[in-house]
Each structure stands twice: as structure tokens, then as C-alpha cells.
Structure 1
Amino acid sequence: MKTLKRKHFKTLALSSLGGTLEFYDFIIFVFFAAYISKNFFPENLSEFWKLFNTYGIFAAGYLARPLGGIVMAHFGDKFGRKNMFMLSILLMVIPTFALAFIPGFETLGYTCIVLLVLVRILQGIAIGGELPGAWVFTYEHAPHHRRHTYLGVLTASVVSGILLGSLVFLIMNKIYTQEELFEWAWRVPFFLGGIFGIISVYLRKFLSETPVFEEMKKEQSLEKFPLKEVFKRAKLSVICSMLITWVLTGCIVVLILLLPSYMSVMLTIDKIEQSYLQMLGIVSICAGCVFSGILGDKIGVIRTCILFALGLIACNFLYFNALYMPNSSLESVKMWYLLACFSAGVMNLCPMIMSEIFDPKIKFSGLSLGYNLAYALAGGFTPQLAFFLHTFALQNLDNALRFSLGFYILFLGLVALFTAFMYKKLAKF
């Protein structure tokens, strides 16, 4: 029994560590976007267009996610979860490491921009296969009565990649001057990311294939074309997956990536305090993910989803009321923000639900298809929508329309409630 527990712990620990480091590699680009744009675009280009083009290249990683996720999942259902798990992190390590050494515009001209786009596409392909693969791998390895807890820890670890990126950004700004960062020091985080990735690749060698896949292989019951079977008999499950992924995307993009910068302007706090607040929000959302997983094992997925969805609605209503209400205290806004982030632990219902609505023979393909399509779509329009709603709210602080951005999060809470009832109909276990 002790050996079994040690084996499960090793699987969870190595999967979680790899997820943290790989998501760090994917997200660190956005923290150093200003430094990248300065080095990779012509001097005569305005600062606006430099940054616009840099963020556009960052978005290319999201657009590449469905391709990578679907292809890698297809082979994961055919040839094994572990093989694709190893491939995804390798695909992330190589371009991240390369970015630390690619010469800038002064040396390569427009070729460096092509290489930058290629780096982001490869990273997008890698991340598209990594998280769905990690969820499936962990779920199929976990003890039956701890599956949702394991998923909660894994999801929290992946989100921690953003926290790691924030910490590295702060440390780099403490150690180096802005001149040094613009000249060469911005490359250090990407070099570190490459080292982190190499360590993860080595550690994942010690993982074993999942018992579920081994059993299917032994029984010769593997599907020849898993993706075809997904479209044939799991269309409703894909729709359910896309809906709950939409909730996950909204929680990350709005609450973690966008709102801290909005709050810094509205509450007149400096960039350092903004970073600390963002990091506390990440810690809070990670705690919510772990708690939702534990709760899922105790009271079931449906009740957990309903509870967290209602919490998301209530906490965000109170948070946005405090944020946009004139004369609200800074401490009050911070408190409700952290509670809103904790309730965003509903995002862990994404793997909890998706892992149980697909047959094991097509689980990787179905989960990856729904997740990556929805993330590419929602990730594409959410930042622009959030900015529009935030601007609209600032223009209507004296009436109910100040909740504009809040209404979007409340709507996502309703989407989460709806998926709970879809899950009840679709669950395979």
C-alpha cells in the first residue's frame, strides 16, 4: 500500500512540476513583451505598433493550440499518454531556449521576426497538448477516491506557472537596471525556462504509462481513428467541454491577467503593489482549485460545481460593486478580489467534468478538442470584450451599468451551473 501511495505521489509531483514549468515557458513572453518588441522590431516603428505586433505574435501561440492539442491527443489515444506527455514538454523547451539566443533586428533584420513567430507557434502546439495530456495522465493514474483532488493540485500547479513568471519578472527588475534589461538581461528568464524544461524532460522519464491505457492496449481495444469517434459519438460532450473551458478562460484572463492592471489605475496603486496583488490573486485561485478538487471527492462533481458557481456569482457581484462604487475602501476591494479569485476555483471543474464525460478510448482526443477550441476562441475575444466592458463601466459609475464587466463573470457562473446539469447526463462513471 505504501509503495502504491509513493507511486501516486511521484506521478502527481512530476506532472505538477512539469505543468508549472511549461506554463511558465509559455506565459513569460507576455511579462517581457516590451523588451522583446524593442529588440525585434525596427527602430523607426512607433512604440504602439511594436507592442501591438509583439502581442499579436504572443496571440499566435493561442491560435496554434488547437492544432497541437488535437494532433497530439490523437496519437496519445493511439500510442500512449506518456509519449505525448514527453513530446509536449520537449516542444516547449526547444523554442524557449532558442529565444534566449536569437539575435535581434539589428543583426537579422526581418528574419528575427519570422523566427519569433515560429517560436510562439511551437510553444502554442506544445501547450495545446500539455495540459489536456497532464489532466488525462493524472486522472488515469490517481486512486479512484482521490482523482478530483489530484486534478485540483495539478490545475493549481499549472496556474502557479503565472506566479513563477511574476516572481521572475519582479526579481529581474530588482537585480538589473532598465538599460540592462532592454539590452540583454531580458533573455535570462527564457534561458532559465529552457533549463527548467530540460529538468522536467529528465524527470518525466521516470513516469510510467497509465494503467487505463495499458489495459486497453492489452485488450486490443484502442481506436484506429480516435478523433473520428469523437465526432461520431461524443459531440455533446465536446460542447460541454467547450462551455466549462469558457468559464476557465474567463477566470484566468479577466481575474488574473487583466483586473490587476485595471485596479492599479482605478485605485492609484503602483506597479509593485499591483504585482503583489496579482500574485495574491493567483495564490487564492490555486487554493480554490485544490479545495474544489477535495470537495469533488467528498460530495461529488455536481454539488461542487453548483457550490462554486454560486460562489463565483456572489463573490464577484460584491467585488465589482466594491471596485466600481465611488468611495470604496482599498482594503474592501482587495478582500473581495481575493474571495472572487478563490471562487474562481470553479475552473478546476473543467478537468473534473471533462475527464468523466468521454470514453477512455477517446478521452484524450475529446478532452483536447473541446478544451483547445474553446480556449482559442474565448482567449481571442475575452481581452477585447473585457476592455470594452470595463471602459463602459467607468462611464456609468452612477448607475447599474457599472456592473458591465461584472455581468460577464456572473454569466460565466450561470454557464458553470448549466454544465453541471449537462455533466449529470453525460458522465460515464
Structure 2
Amino acid sequence: MTTTAVHADFEQPETEAEKRKRLRTVVAASLLGTTVEWYDFFLYATAAGLVFNELFFPDESSFIGTMLAFATFAVGFVMRPVGGLVFGHIGDRIGRKKTLALTMFVMGVATALMGALPTAAQIGVLAPILLLLLRILQGFALGGEWAGAVLLSVEHSPAKKRGLFGSIPQVGLALGLALGTAVFAALQTVFDDEQFLAYGWRIAFALSIVLVAVGFVVRLKVEETPAFEEVSRLKARSSAPVKEVLRGRNTRNTVLGLLSRWGEGAAFNTWGVFAITYATGTLAFDKVQVLLVVTVAALVMAALLPLSGIASDRYGARRVYTLGIALYGLAVFPVFALFGTENLLWFTVAMVLVFGVIHALFYGAQGTLYAGLYPTEIRYTGLSVVYQFSGIYASGLTPLILAGLIASTDGAPWLACGYLVATALISVVATTLIRREDLHLAVDAPNDE
């Protein structure tokens, strides 16, 4: 079936007051929702190297236990494409609003149950199995989250502020990571090591119930996007969105999107996940101090992401994303050299620079750029395919790959650095090859037209 391209900038007639109210609700629903979802997902990432390796894989060596914890971390990314296909289909057929409410509910249930799990000391091998199953459920739910949150913002946005609105869901990711690491740092400060491992870590997961309840209510208040309403009005919804994503010029955009995402996924999971274990293990920094550093870097990122969106509106999302990824590639070796000083101050400077500033530059442009790859009627599925399938190799496997490469060189990070630079190079080339004429939304600056 060949779908009909639909004009994505359609807006229902409304007063300025109604428009401002609608956009405020959209911003709240997108920002709060993604913050909660990513808080839930990255709680596991933080706990993987600090808690789960000891409580759920206690009979293994420290290295093997950490690798097994990261392996279950990666499984969540493997399930995200499945969730992306399922929720992408629902989002393109039924709507963005209902799909996003559903993903939040599933994620909240999985995270709350994870916090209530008995440990291996209590129920043996069943403990890591249950942990794995809940991680699978988390990945499935998150598979439909990112694309829907981006579309909620982009498809509601004024055309001249598409980049700014597209950066809002990315702010939620940074805040979710900051909240997760901050909560863990606070709990480790309040409780001693024995108390934290016994029950303190569970409080972070229980907090998810409150956050999900608030986010769920806000998302139910948001209106469906004007772009999807137009598709529905014209009866142009695709009966098989995933087939359309892999057909015609959509195929080229999908392949380039998958490659373009490699550097961003590798970067985020290096600085936001692997660096925590590397700093507390290899560099022997205090756990609380490291978590606070990551929290600060994530907060800097959250503050700068809207500026990336504004820059995308002025200079074009492709240019901003390409520049940011190139800077990430150039920064990898110097950052690990600063890590090698084993000085907490230089570690902090490096993390704030590469994670807080450089990552914000390209991550803020990403949602807007990828939203332009597909027409409205298959956009939810298309974004999900690009973001979630690339998440397997770009994101989920990164901590495992880096840990393995560093172990193979007796602790030297330079081979791992080479891998990260290669991911940046691939992404720069792929993003450059995305053609303006193949985009379905105007995501370039007016002066590029």
C-alpha cells in the first residue's frame, strides 16, 4: 500500500490564548513524561554497576558480575525495537496521546516491581531471572516512548520553533538521568553500605510510582497532535506502517538514520553509564562523588538542550547535529586522558564538557532531524525504528564493548577510545548524506531554503 503524503503543518483554528494553553500542556506532558520514563530506565543503568552486580550476581567475580549486570542492561535495549514496532504501529493507527499514556503505565509497573524483587540470597537463581524479565518489560515500554514524545512536541509546534520544541523531550532524558543519579547519591549518603544494599536502593525504585502517577495524569490532558488529526480526517492512516518505513525513499532515510544515531547512542552510554563504573572501579573514586558529577553534567545538559533547539531553528538541525557529533569524536581521547589523571576535579571538568556541553549540542537537534525523515502517517513507526533498532548496537552494547576492550589492553582505554571515534565518524558521514529533498518536514533553517 502506498500512503498519501499529508501536510504536517495543519493547525485547527484557535485563539491565541487557546494556542498558548495547548502549547503549555504539550510542553508539560512531553517534559514530565520523558523525565519519568527515563528516570525509570536509567535507574537500572545506575544500579547495574553499584547494586545488581552484588545482589543478583553475587557468586561471580567482580568483573564477571559487572559484565552480567551490564548484559541484562543491554537486554532492555534489545527489547526496545520490539516495543518500538508495537507502539509505533499503535501510535500511527490510533494516535500519539493514548500510546504515550500506555507506555508510561507499563514502564511504571515494571520499575516498581523491580524495586520489590527479592535478591539471589533470598530466592537463588530466580532473582536474576525475574530481574531480566522486568528489564525486558522496561525496554518494551520505552521502545514506544521517545518517538511519541518527540512527535507530541514537534507536531504541535509552530513551524519556526520546531527545533526548540523538538529539544524538549531530550531535556526530559537529561533530567531523568540527573534525578536517578541524584537519588542514588542521596540514598548512599543517608544509609551506610550495608543499609543501602539491604533496602536503601529500593526507595529510588518506589519513588517511580509517585512520578508515574503525576506524569500519567498530565499526559491524559494533552490534545492529540494536529498532524495526526489531519491524517485521520483525510483517512490517510497507513495500514502497515513498518512496510512503508522500509519502502522507496524511506528505506534510504531509515538506513542513514540508523547510522547517524550510532555516535549519539555510544556517547550517551559511555558518559552516562559506563563512566560511573569506570570511575568507581578503575579510577577508585568515591561512588557518591561520581554520581554527583554525573548529576551535575546531566543538569548542564538539560539547561543547554533548548539552546541546541534554538540553534537548529536558526542554522538547521542537520548542521547542528553534525557539528556536535564531530566535536564528540574530537573530544574522546582528551577526555580519557583527563580521566587518566585520576584527579576528581579533572574528571568533573571532562564530564561537564563532553556530557553536559557537547552532548547537549547534538542531542537537542536529534529529535527534530529524525522527525523530518518520514511523512506523518508512518512517522511514529519510522522514528521508533531508527532510534530503537540503533539502540541495540549504539547504546545497549556500548558498556560491554568498552569494558571488554579496556580489559583486553590491561586497563588502557585507548582502543576503546578508537571505537568511540569510529562511531562519531560513521554518524557524521551518515548525517551529511541525508538529503534535503528527502525530508518530510522543514527541519532546516530558513536561510537554507
Conserved in 1, the CA contact under 8 Å of 2:46 and 2:273?
A: no
- Partner residue in 2 for 1:157: 172
Alignment partners' CA distance in 2, 1:108 and 1:268: 32
List per-residue Cα deviations over 1:208-260 (Å, max 9, x = no partner).
11110001101111111111111123111111221222122111111222235
Which deviates more, 255-264 or 156-165? 255-264
Conserved in 2, the CA contact under 8 Å of 1:261 and 1:274?
A: no
Question: Does residue 340 of structure 1 match 2:348?
Answer: no
More relative contact order, 1 or 2 (CA 8 Å, 6+ apart): 2
- Partner residue in 2 for 1:272: 288
Q: CA deviation at 1:317?
A: 5.0
Alignment partners' CA distance in 2, 1:92 and 1:254: 24
Conserved in 2, the CA contact under 8 Å of 1:92 and 1:126?
A: yes
- Partner residue in 1 for 2:153: 138
Q: Which amino acid aligns with 1:130?
A: E
Q: CA deviation at 1:3?
A: 2.9
Conserved in 2, the CA contact under 8 Å of 1:136 and 1:364?
A: yes
- Given candidates 269, 285, 298, the residue that maps to 1:253 is 269
Q: Residues 19-418 of structure 1: matches in 2 within 5 Å?
A: 19-33=34-48, 34-36=50-52, 39-40=55-56, 51-105=66-120, 108-233=123-248, 234-263=250-279, 269-324=285-340, 331=345, 334-341=348-355, 342-345=357-360, 346-390=362-406, 403-418=414-429
Conserved in 2, the CA contact under 8 Å of 1:152 and 1:289?
A: yes
Task: Identify the structure with the greater helix proportion.
Answer: 1
What secondary structure, in the 3-state scheme, does the structure 1 residue paired with 2:31 have?
helix
Conserved in 1, the CA contact under 8 Å of 2:43 and 2:205?
A: yes
Conserved in 2, the CA contact under 8 Å of 1:288 and 1:344?
A: no
Structure 2: 5+ residue runs without aligned partners? 1-15, 442-449
- Partner residue in 1 for 2:8: none
Q: CA deviation at 1:35?
A: 4.0
- Partner residue in 1 for 2:432: 421
Conserved in 1, the CA contact under 8 Å of 2:333 and 2:417?
A: yes
Which deviates more, 306-315 or 129-138? 306-315
- Given candidates 7, 17, 20, the residue that maps to 1:5 is 20
Alignment partners' CA distance in 2, 1:104 and 1:421: 48
Q: CA deviation at 1:92?
A: 0.6
Q: How many aligned residue pairs are there?
A: 421
Conserved in 1, the CA contact under 8 Å of 2:76 and 2:396?
A: no
TM-score (norm 2): 0.84
Q: CA deviation at 1:105?
A: 4.7
Conserved in 2, the CA contact under 8 Å of 1:267 and 1:330?
A: no
List per-residue Cα deviations over 1:360-387 (Å, max 9, x = no partner).
1111111111211110122343223323
Q: CA deviation at 1:296?
A: 0.2
Alignment partners' CA distance in 1, 2:316 and 2:267: 22
Structure 1: 5+ residue runs without aligned partners? 397-401
Alignment partners' CA distance in 1, 2:226 and 2:353: 38
Q: Which amino acid aligns with 1:82?
A: K
Q: CA deviation at 1:187?
A: 1.9
Identical amino acids, percent of aligned pairs? 24
TM-score (norm 1): 0.88
Conserved in 2, the CA contact under 8 Å of 1:139 and 1:151?
A: yes
